Structure 1
Amino acid sequence: MAKEFYASSDVVFGKDAVHKLSEILKAYKAKSVMVVYGSSVKRVGIAQKVLNEVEKAQVKITVFEGVIPNPTNEVVEEAAEIARRENVDVFVAVGGGSCIDLTKAVNILMTNEGPIGRYGGIGLVKTPVLPLIAIPTTAGTSSEITNVVALTDTKAVCKYVIIDNKITANKVIADPEFTKSTPPSVTAATGMDAITHAVESYISNMATPLTEYHSLKSLQIFHKNLPLAVKDGSDMAAREQMMLGCIIVGFGFSNANLGLVHGIAHTLSAHFHLAHGMANAAVLPYVMEYNAESCPEKMVELARAIELSVTGNLEEDKYLLSRELLRLTKELQIKTLSQQGIEEKDFEMLADDVLKEPVLNFNPRQGITKEDILSILKKAF
């Protein structure tokens, strides 16, 4: 049966890659550029480095600094209003997943009618968008390379996704030096987000040989290099490998989709504003333990990929990955749900909302019940 694999972005990778930015803007014949970033990117000086390069293109510059974790519909509409007023014709997003997702969403509204919430789902963006250059400052979400936007609907109290090939960034400037200032806790959380992308996309019921290759290769990279990057943030070899892995896994999961881990994480973030990576990491080992029943062979393949000691006993080996992920979360000091402020009284409400998550359709184990989710939440507590 024929399978589709979509990849679009043009990637400039490596040290000093940002110096290509003015050349890229000139190639687009940009006249009015919006540069989007948050306070942390400004504080460590990355924003100014990017602005210096934009200035070389001799364009009108509009800055939007209002990036927030788990961006909301309201922030998207606010930024889009400014972008329309300034006749922005090219976007530059500088930051992590929240920044890049926000910018992709704003870009939709430059050529498509609002509100942004109407585009939740797959393939609903009608008109092609403007050029977008993504400059990631974390190694985790892969938003710079994917056709996905994750937003929070504060009125419905849910996190939803927009999936459309039209919204993928046209250019990616991936400079590992820009991740050097990321604190250890954020490096750990975003890195575990990347690992989640690798394992969930590999076992997804939408996976193909092309996506599986990217998922396996990226998992190998993350498993080896994430602990090194957390231990020593100045280890640029590890930083570079993590950023490379995020590009590789982005090609995989944007085609294969994700599963129950993200369904739970979306719900946790929507209700309690948990950082996406931390939410994923807290439940990842327990969801993989749960999923092992439905795809034991794939669990063993993932275990072999990271050189775990496979015994040949499928009933035992299918849990090797989930145990290793639990060990890794403890090594990286990932907080449990209780340490992140979740209370047991919230479990019933959370479980009900997780069951509404569309991403569950791609999970390898189907027939997920409320009791299944409650069991996972209790283990992660």
Structure 2
Amino acid sequence: MAFEFFVNSDIVFGRDSIYKLPDILKEYGAKKVMLVYDSGVKAAGIAETVAAAVHKAEVETVIFDKVIPNPTNETVEEAAAIARAAGVDVFVAVGGGSSIDLAKAINVLMTNPGPIGQYGGIGLVKYPVLPLIAVPTTAGTSSEITNVCALIDTEKVVKYVVIDNKIVPSKVIIDPEFTKTMPASVTAATGMDAITHAVESYISNMATPLTGYNSLKGLKILYDNLPRAVKDGSDMEAREQMMLGCVITGFGFSNANLGLVHGIAHTLSAHFQLAHGMANATVLPYVIAFNAESCPEKMADMAETIGLKLSGNLEKDKYLLSEELLALTRKLGIKTLSEQGIREQDLEMLAEEVLHEPVLGFNPRQGVTKEQVLEILHKAF
């Protein structure tokens, strides 16, 4: 047995933990802080709360509030130019994966030459980055504790990832109170994103005993609490558990990587700007059914983990998880591809593009063909 497992997260978890932010900023000796967030965080009043905490540290602030879903290279370069001109020395990213991923990418360009696109891949960031404090407001991407940031290259029309241990946030403040304002639809989509991470990392061909433990533990917590959080956004026990499950899962998938579900989701986001969590959730049940023949024992393991009763017939049991995930997506109101604006004539192009996604290299079932991807897309349509 031989493997590597990287974890580099300093986490403060719990309600009202945001009020520890001033002390954290003082520990870093911050003088000028850039706050990175989107319009939704601002509208919910979360940005105001975080800004007030930053001000208590008696530091200057620069605000970048133009975060968009699926951040682009252009947005990274724009924000990095502002940060460099202002002399920013610490970042505070507030929001979901888009805000945190954008802040990671900006941070790369503070100490490394541009353009950002040259760092797409694994371990290509040359120099250490500045302190970044991540304050997640969703339980989905786990971006707050991973070494990954996902960006859109609008010229090549692809979604790509920068994977480097240097870009993991220096500090994480997980305050479940910040998730209370998430609409049910966003809670559902981001929660299914986290479940996708748990499932895909467990069956990844890079999985190890440590990643497997995190993936299964995270899956159980997320599966048990997502319907509760969607049904009642003020259920703080469910909200806390979703944040916890997201973190645990993140430790698994950031080491084991992901697979075909994410390959399809990346392509959908690049071409049609679909929200990442929704794109994952839409195709997840069908990809899991497709992958079942390559790892039936692991499919049965996951089914048993979430409380499904095994028959003892592996040929049947390997499909229990995919069937349950399909039922769960329907219960949570996850939209089909057609309901998200995808046209049937788009599917051929999408299937072709998916084959170029690097994450397919980690998928348990190899040799995926265009026809197989197209069949999955038709089922999700």
TM-score by length of 2: 1.00
Aligned alpha-carbon RMSD (Å):
0.4
Partner residue in 2 for 1:93: 93
Query: Residues 270-289 of structure 1, C-alpha deviation per residue, up to 9 Å, x if partnerless?
Result: 00000000000000000000
Q: Which amino acid aligns with 2:71?
A: P
Alignment map for 1:133-148 (pairs within 5 Å): 133-148=133-148
Structure 2: distance between partners of 1:138 and 1:223? 16
Partner residue in 2 for 1:355: 355
SS of the residue aligned with 1:352? helix
Query: Residues 117-153 of structure 1, C-alpha deviation per residue, up to 9 Å, x if partnerless?
Result: 0000000000000000000000000000100000000
Partner residue in 1 for 2:274: 274
Partner residue in 2 for 1:107: 107
- What's the offset of the Cα at 1:60? 1.0
Partner residue in 1 for 2:158: 158
Partner residue in 1 for 2:244: 244
Structure 2: distance between partners of 1:339 and 1:229? 23
Structure 1: distance between partners of 2:189 and 2:145? 19
Partner residue in 2 for 1:75: 75
Partner residue in 1 for 2:229: 229
Structure 2: distance between partners of 1:185 and 1:178? 16
Mind listing any 5+ residue stretches in structure 2 that lack a counterpart? Answer: none
Partner residue in 2 for 1:29: 29
Runs of 4+ residues deviating >6 angstroms: none
Query: Residues 272-317 of structure 1, C-alpha deviation per residue, up to 9 Å, x if partnerless?
Result: 0000000000000000000001000000000000010100000000
Partner residue in 2 for 1:59: 59
Q: Which amino acid aligns with 1:69?
A: P
Structure 2: distance between partners of 1:260 and 1:218? 20
Partner residue in 2 for 1:369: 369
Partner residue in 2 for 1:181: 181
Query: Residues 91-136 of structure 1, C-alpha deviation per residue, up to 9 Å, x if partnerless?
Result: 0000000000000000000000000000000000000000000000
SS of the residue aligned with 2:91? strand
Structure 2: distance between partners of 1:124 and 1:272? 28
SS of the residue aligned with 1:172? strand
Structure 2: distance between partners of 1:128 and 1:372? 42
Structure 1: distance between partners of 2:37 and 2:199? 29
Alignment map for 1:297-312 (pairs within 5 Å): 297-312=297-312
Structure 2: distance between partners of 1:255 and 1:44? 33
Q: Which amino acid aligns with 2:140?
A: G
Partner residue in 2 for 1:5: 5
- What's the offset of the Cα at 1:2? 1.7
Mind listing any 5+ residue stretches in structure 1 that lack a counterpart? Answer: none
Partner residue in 1 for 2:192: 192
SS of the residue aligned with 2:189? helix
- What's the offset of the Cα at 1:169? 0.3
- What's the offset of the Cα at 1:320? 0.1
Structure 1: distance between partners of 2:287 and 2:62? 43
Partner residue in 2 for 1:324: 324
- What's the offset of the Cα at 1:9? 1.2
Percent of counterpart pairs with the same letter?
73
Structure 1: distance between partners of 2:232 and 2:68? 27
Q: Which amino acid aligns with 1:104?
A: K
SS of the residue aligned with 2:144? coil
Q: Which amino acid aligns with 2:44?
A: V
Q: Which amino acid aligns with 1:128?
A: P
SS of the residue aligned with 1:144? helix
Partner residue in 2 for 1:14: 14
TM-score by length of 1: 1.00
Partner residue in 1 for 2:378: 378
- What's the offset of the Cα at 1:328? 0.0
Query: Residues 48-91 of structure 1, C-alpha deviation per residue, up to 9 Å, x if partnerless?
Result: 11001100111110000010000000000000000000000000
SS of the residue aligned with 2:129? coil
- What's the offset of the Cα at 1:25? 0.3
Partner residue in 2 for 1:125: 125
Q: Which amino acid aligns with 2:345?
A: K
SS of the residue aligned with 2:339? coil
SS of the residue aligned with 2:340? coil
